[in-house]
Amino acid sequence: LTKEYITYKDPKNDTGFAGATRLENAKKMHEFYSVLVQWLSLKNRGIKISQYIKENNYNSVCIYGMRELGQRLYEELALDDIDMPYAIDKNADNISCELKIIKPEEIVNEPELIIVTAIHYYDQIYDDLKKCTKKSDIVSIEDIFFAL
């Protein structure tokens, strides 16, 4: 990827979307694209994320990151009757969804599994969630796809 690769751009900030450089945005978009391609490949073979959840005996699941990937994951898991008491997002106040969305510091009843859809920031999110949870397993959606 080159610096000339242009992705979303914040008109208030010359560095690009959310203050990231164009190269950083290109990397994020490439990761996003790769995850979508993997997800579609699994769907075409009849494999769903709910299989991972059921095979690993998780009874309650929360999604971290309720933008595009998080919304699609919510739709898929809801169709498979997966228990999702709430979703988590640091920008919870700015997101509209059928599912209750809370900020990480508001976690009270810990789910057994937290699936992180913001894959580019997974390491930082993992560290932040570990400060707020003691018993939840925290897994990237990308890792789930490659485990299926």
First to last CA, the chain: 28
Tokens of 113: 């599994």
Separation of alpha carbons 57 and 44, rounded Å: 24
In which band, very low, low, confident or very high, does the pLDDT at 22 lie, cut at 50, 70 and 90?
confident
Residue 108 has what pLDDT? Answer: 87
**Does 49 score more than 80 pLDDT?**
yes
Mean pLDDT of 49-67: 96
Average pLDDT over residues 89-97: 90
